[in-house]
Structure 1
Amino acid sequence: MSHSAFAYVDGVLHAEGVSAVTLAERFGTPLFVYSRAALTEAYQAYAKACEGHRACVHVAVKANGNLAVLNVFARLGAGFDIVSGGELARVLAAGGQAKDIVFSGVGKSEDEMRQALDAGVKCFNVESIAELDRLNAVAGQRGKKAPISLRVNPDVDPKTHPYISTGLKANKFGVAFDEARSAYRAAAALEHLEVVGIDCHIGSQITEIAPYIDALDKLLDLVTQIEADGARIRHIDVGGGLGITYSTETPPETGLFVRTLLARIEARGHGHREVFFEPGRSVTGNAGILLTRVEFLKPGAEKNFAIVDAAMNDLARPAMYQAYHAIDPVVPRQDAPHVYDVVGPVCESGDWLGRERALAIEPGDLLAIRSAGAYSFAMSSNYNTRPRAAEVMVDGGEVHLVRARETVPELFAGESILPR
């Protein structure tokens, strides 16, 4: 998806029909700004490609859990992929339906399992034999039968950052490919589980289709073996992970990606099964920006620093993954640019948002950090006792505050000092 929702109008960056200057003045900075139109466009690219097929979309809540964002997707008919009991509560509060929720994650607690069983989620993506046994016991206590798929690790290299690659033998996720068939036999023998599908997720920020096809082919071979053993696989969950453009990446167009996978499934004789897609970053990433204000310019012998009011606690991706986010002035100046490292106020050398950026800026100027709709606010923290940023949603010419900025007293409201 393009950055079309965030474009310059008369020399000022706008979010849809609203000036970013106006947003910063009204709500302060740092400020996350989301575009309803961009969220809708990105989701519809998946939904439209699924039309005419037995396929559906579950949005990965971990990428952006804001209630307003989830509600936009729920109104469009999305299902959801969750990885915690907290995310289940978020989806339900945002208007999502439990029957459209898939529960993933390697470490589900008994409490989380009970919560999801009682809500009536669509499926548990189980990631180990130990989890099968725990879920069977919890379902038995509740007098229910838990619908499950096993997350199979196909050992396919997605050629992405090692921290966000999830489908290799060395990763913590899923059941090893060569143990999957016996794991399905074990699951089928458990009284309080019902095998309904198979699941796979090979990583995040993947910018080519080939690794998906490799994983899918291995998965389809396995489905044939599992069904020969007597289990019935109703759905194939191909996971998420399609990348976005942060700088020069050229991921496949969403519709082409979806149609290619569906065509492969149908060509191999599995078209009667339902297919689940679980996008996260690709439906939220380029639908958000982070506005920040320049506090100081600090020239140095080796580097020039632009110190801004956003920091690694607001946007952890650069510090965590050496991730690139484009950084643009909200009101570009005509002066000659200087090269800066854009850094925050947090007391860590790793607190940087962009390195070696050519910018013509002065203290007080606003900057827009692009592609901040996924894994940005969701991963933010209160390190250095910094309140987390406000979030707003722009809808045409309207602006909605969808999360108020935290206050410092709220940060330690649950703490107490010793009585003596």
Structure 2
Amino acid sequence: MSLSQNPISIQGVSLESVANEFGTPVYVYDEEKITSQIKTLQAAFSKVPLKIKYATKALTNINILKLVKKAGGEVDAVSVEEVRICLEAGYEGKDVMYTPNGVSMDEIKQVVALGAMINLDNIPVLEQFGQEYGNSVPVCIRINPHIMAGGNAKISVGHIASKFGISIHQLDEILEVVNKYDLQIAGLHLHTGSDILDAEVFLKGANVLFEAAMQFKDLKFLDFGGGFKVGYKEGDVVTDIMNVGDKVSDAFLEFCKKYGRDLELWLEPGKFVVSESGYLIVQANVVKKTPQITFIGVNSGLNHLIRPMMYDAYHSIYNLSNPEGELKKYNVVGYICETDTIASDREIAEVKMGDFLVIKNAGAYGISMASNYNSRLRPAEVLVWEGKAKLIRKREEFQDLLHNQVILDI
């Protein structure tokens, strides 16, 4: 489905009927898009032994995780809770890459007990890991190559000031700890951040990783991370996956010859897999005209989609109720007691109170970053699967806000 298309239905299921049946706001996901994104990656990297480790932080609903598994993918988790959700979805511990940042050794021990591959990104914890496990538990090391990818400053995190990964300039210190404890290094992981556009960024990082990998004799895999850029509006430049897959695969196979044996190539796509599959349907509560701006106030906000406010992210919006109406300029704002701007100076088919609006690219970091700010409830999630709309998360109710509160007799 091209960016210029504003779907009225998904797999024959009317989005308006979804809004009417399940209420708004509501997240809607297209199973076919998720599956096709995984198949695209598999085709692009068909020349190498590939493992796709879906970055679950993008969207952790168990049903989405099951879809990824059915399509041949595995998972990457950043917390013990994400690891446990993956296990609930049917993955085995060996299918899970655990890539934490700034966590305690206690949490790492919990995940070791669950059987996941541990991916460490700082030397003090690597030292603790060696003291605790020696060479009895395999581990991966996350390297920061200091190669900048694109995107907002908050998601472009491969630079030298980033908190993620161990600097490639500290390779000697890594090797000192590895040798001290005879650590079993199963893989190296490349961290470059988000919005990578072309093969050249991957190849620069790959060359850094290939050079470092020669210092480790028993590797099983190299993990190139994720960060593929998807389109948010017409004309957006997106990652040429087929070109990236072709060039990176060739470089990887050449490295394996030099290394002396075949390794697996791992990828950790998150946004690429689920972003374009997701739609957030909201309803116009008010159309408010001022001398300069016409605002559309909707029954959602940064509590359901924080990316516009946090990352200045662009999300296309269209009027589901009046798709062929005259285009007019609006600022779309949420109902949260903050600026809460979802879109500014946006041309949308004329909107009236009660119209359903659709916010695109809501599959990644929508519900997973949602909150109860202003004591608002989180929406329902619906999956369009095999031509039917299925509820996969109930809408919160008022009692959910009080569920864990301990009420004192004051």
Out of 350, 353, 362, which is 2:342 matched to?
Answer: 353
Instruction: Give the Cα separation in 1 of the matches to 2:323 and 2:159.
Output: 47
Residue 334 of structure 1: CA displacement?
4.3
Provide Cα deviations, 1:166-185, integer angstroms capped at 9, x if missing partner. Answer: 21101001111110233133
Cα distance change of structure 1 residues 413 and 49 upon mapping to structure 2, 3 Å threshold = same
Partner of 1:31: 26
TM-score by length of structure 2 reads: 0.94
Cα distance change of structure 1 residues 386 and 132 upon mapping to structure 2, 3 Å threshold = same
Give percent identity, aligned residues only: 29
Aligned length: 405
Residue 258 of structure 1: CA displacement?
2.0
Question: Does residue 1:246 correspond to 2:232, yes or no?
Answer: yes
Partner of 1:90: 85
Residue 133 of structure 1: CA displacement?
2.3
Partner of 2:246: 259
What is the identity, as a one-letter code, of the residue corresponding to 1:384?
N
Out of 102, 115, 120, which is 2:115 matched to?
Answer: 120
Check the 8 A contact 1:110/1:138 in 2, yes or no. Answer: no
Range 24-33 or range 201-210, more displaced: 201-210
Correspondence list, 1:125-274, <5 A: 125-139=119-133, 145-190=136-181, 193-224=183-214, 226-227=215-216, 231-247=217-233, 248-268=235-255, 269-270=258-259, 272-274=262-264
Provide Cα deviations, 1:27-55, integer angstroms capped at 9, x if missing partner. Answer: 01110000110000001111233334222
Instruction: Give the Cα separation in 1 of the matches to 2:279 and 2:132.
Output: 42
Check the 8 A contact 1:337/1:361 in 2, yes or no. Answer: no
Question: Does residue 1:43 correspond to 2:29, yes or no?
Answer: no
Check the 8 A contact 2:196/2:239 in 1, yes or no. Answer: no
Unaligned runs of 5+ in 2: none
Instruction: Give the Cα separation in 1 of the matches to 2:324 and 2:45.
Output: 46
Provide Cα deviations, 1:53-87, integer angstroms capped at 9, x if missing partner. Answer: 22211000011111111110112221111100010
Q: Secondary structure at 2:373's aligned position in 1? A: coil
TM-score by length of structure 1 reads: 0.92
Instruction: Give the Cα separation in 2 of the matches to 1:188 and 1:161.
Output: 38
Unaligned runs of 5+ in 1: none
Provide Cα deviations, 1:267-293, integer angstroms capped at 9, x if missing partner. Answer: 343572211111001011101111001
Q: Secondary structure at 2:42's aligned position in 1? A: helix
Q: Secondary structure at 1:112's aligned position in 2? A: helix
Residue 418 of structure 1: CA displacement?
2.7
Cα distance change of structure 1 residues 54 and 327 upon mapping to structure 2, 3 Å threshold = same
Q: Secondary structure at 1:246's aligned position in 2? A: coil
Cα distance change of structure 1 residues 272 and 396 upon mapping to structure 2, 3 Å threshold = same
Check the 8 A contact 1:333/1:361 in 2, yes or no. Answer: no
Question: Does residue 1:363 correspond to 2:349, yes or no?
Answer: no
Q: Secondary structure at 1:361's aligned position in 2? A: coil
